[in-house]
Structure 1
Amino acid sequence: MSEYAANGTRSGGAGQPANRAESSATGTLYGLGVGPGDPELLTVKAFRILKQSPVIAYPRKKSGAQSYALKIAETYVDTTAKEMLGLTFPMTKDREALEKSWNKTVDAVWEHLAAGRDVAFLTEGDPMLYSTFIHMMRFLKQRHPEAKTVSVPGISSVNASASRLGIPLADGDERIAIVPATDDYGAVREAIEEHDCVVFIKVAKVIDLMLQVLGDLGLTDKAAVLTKVTSAEESVWLDVRELQGRQLEYLTLMVVRK
């Protein structure tokens, strides 16, 4: 354990972990956006807090599973010098199972915060855009209203995809929507019809339906699909017809620009 991990971190300005070696104050939970995949897209502020926080929490689908967010951050942090806290968030819609999991993760994080240790909670993209940090912050505040939380913005896959494609998300009076893809044909079609640009996230399981809607609207050539954008595992499809019947990675989105 490094000196930082054992004795807290140096005091500083706003958003900077403070030295609590001789203080009974609780630690701060930082929602740390680590970007879409390319480690070079991590912000300077996220880098500083990552270095100074004695505890690094990271999400995973199950115990022992790899964490995409941690893989990005590992470029900049010596995990052997930190308290590493793997938090399991099962991919299920079972509300009872989810609440049990959330309460367990809150307990694990609060143990460190109550002891005065700052916790950097890693999340891919931005912590305030469809991230696990949103739920963590909500559950933590419900059970421990005195808990201090800080969100550190990150570059989202939405922004990164637009840059990767060279496609503006919106300009002038144009309207944009960011929508979780569903198997509701009508909802998907309506989103496209009512906006100039739509970014659909989590399209992997409904790609065939998405292609059907695009075909019916005559917009198949106006769409692109990206997986793990900017990372070493990135895949980009400019001809989305190739994806009919394909199995895709969870971190896949579609940009539709009229």
Structure 2
Amino acid sequence: MEEHKIGQFFGIGLGPGDPELLTLKALRVIKNSPVIAFPIKAVNEASYALSIVSDFIDMERQQLLPLLFPMTKNKEIIKQQWKEATEAVFRYLQQGKDVAFLTEGDPLFYSTFIHLRQYMGLLHPEVAVQSIPGISSIFGAAASLHLPLADGDAQVGIIPATRNKDHMKKAIEQHETIIFLKIAKVLDLLVDVLIETNTLEKAAIVTKATSNEEIIYKNVLDLKGKELPYLSLMVVKRT
């Protein structure tokens, strides 16, 4: 029986949402990969990552592989899902098929690909894994806001928003520009932080940056008590 050469596993950075922000390399690998994998949070859920590149996928020639990563803090469930996703990818790799895993932004920046890459290395170290960089939503948001993030010796901080109020206050106080990621779940607390640091008028929020669903909010106080999409970030530029 003929043995297949093991396929390559690619983490593809798609950029923040505008398909025209794909790199030429990312587009080439996507078009050449027999299997296109992407993360979903629930069965039959639509994938934002897949929607960015849907026009470039040939459904007659390429196979879609949704990988389930449920939103939970149960570490045992999370570990099991990573292992199952890794094995699902490997089943195609061992057939000699390359697999391209789609990620919004960059595959090595707060991405699900980081964990898949780690587990693939642990469970199947023979697999060649390659990361293809993508434009971060941070830079997409800066372009949409027409806002220079840093110049000269200015310091920039990038942190996920948390329920640690003091930590977020300190981040603002210690940087000329701060980008808060994943702000939807702690938006009200973050608005309070802005009020206490006198930076309310220095802040702006961008949801789904650069996509055709992008929304920019400059009056952040009006959003208190409201819900935002998961893909929302805040830029606070003090100077």
What band does the TM-score fall into relative to the shorter chain?
A: over 0.9
| Counterpart amino acid of residue 194 in structure 1 | Q
Uncovered stretches (5+) of structure 1, i.e. residues with no partner: 1-21
Partner of 1:30: 10
> C-alpha displacement at 1:23, in angstroms?
6.7
Pick the aligned partner of 2:116 from 136, 140, 161: 136
Alpha-carbon displacement from aligned partner over 1:175-216 (angstroms, at most 9, x marks no partner): 111100001100100111111111111000111111111111
Shift >4 Å, 4+ stretches? none
Pick the aligned partner of 2:139 from 150, 159, 175: 159
> C-alpha displacement at 1:76, in angstroms?
1.4
Query: Counterparts of 2:100 and 2:166 in 1: how far apart (Å)?
Result: 40
Equivalent residue pairs, number? 237
Uncovered stretches (5+) of structure 2, i.e. residues with no partner: none
Query: Counterparts of 1:169 and 1:146 in 2: how far apart (Å)?
Result: 41
Query: Counterparts of 1:23 and 1:228 in 2: how far apart (Å)?
Result: 44
Backbone CA RMSD of aligned residues: 1.1
Partner of 1:210: 190
Pick the aligned partner of 1:187 from 167, 178, 197: 167
Alpha-carbon displacement from aligned partner over 1:35-57 (angstroms, at most 9, x marks no partner): 11111111111110111001100
Contact map agreement 1:39 1:75 (CA 8 A) in 2: no
* Superposition pairs of residues 160-175 of structure 1, within 5 angstroms: 160-175=140-155
Partner of 1:4: none
* Superposition pairs of residues 236-251 of structure 1, within 5 angstroms: 236-251=216-231
Partner of 2:96: 116
Identity of aligned residues (%): 47
Query: Counterparts of 1:75 and 1:124 in 2: how far apart (Å)?
Result: 16
Does residue 94 in structure 1 map to residue 74 in structure 2? yes
| Counterpart amino acid of residue 196 in structure 1 | E
TM-score (norm 1): 0.90
Does residue 62 in structure 1 map to residue 42 in structure 2? yes
Query: Counterparts of 1:35 and 1:81 in 2: how far apart (Å)?
Result: 24
Pick the aligned partner of 1:82 from 30, 52, 62: 62
> C-alpha displacement at 1:24, in angstroms?
3.2
> C-alpha displacement at 1:249, in angstroms?
0.6
Partner of 1:230: 210
> C-alpha displacement at 1:79, in angstroms?
2.6
> C-alpha displacement at 1:63, in angstroms?
1.2
Partner of 1:47: 27
Query: Counterparts of 2:80 and 2:222 in 1: how far apart (Å)?
Result: 40
> C-alpha displacement at 1:25, in angstroms?
2.3
Query: Counterparts of 1:115 and 1:31 in 2: how far apart (Å)?
Result: 19
| Counterpart amino acid of residue 146 in structure 2 | G
| Counterpart amino acid of residue 67 in structure 1 | S
Query: Counterparts of 1:84 and 1:244 in 2: how far apart (Å)?
Result: 39
Query: Counterparts of 2:154 and 2:60 in 1: how far apart (Å)?
Result: 48
Query: Counterparts of 2:18 and 2:186 in 1: how far apart (Å)?
Result: 26
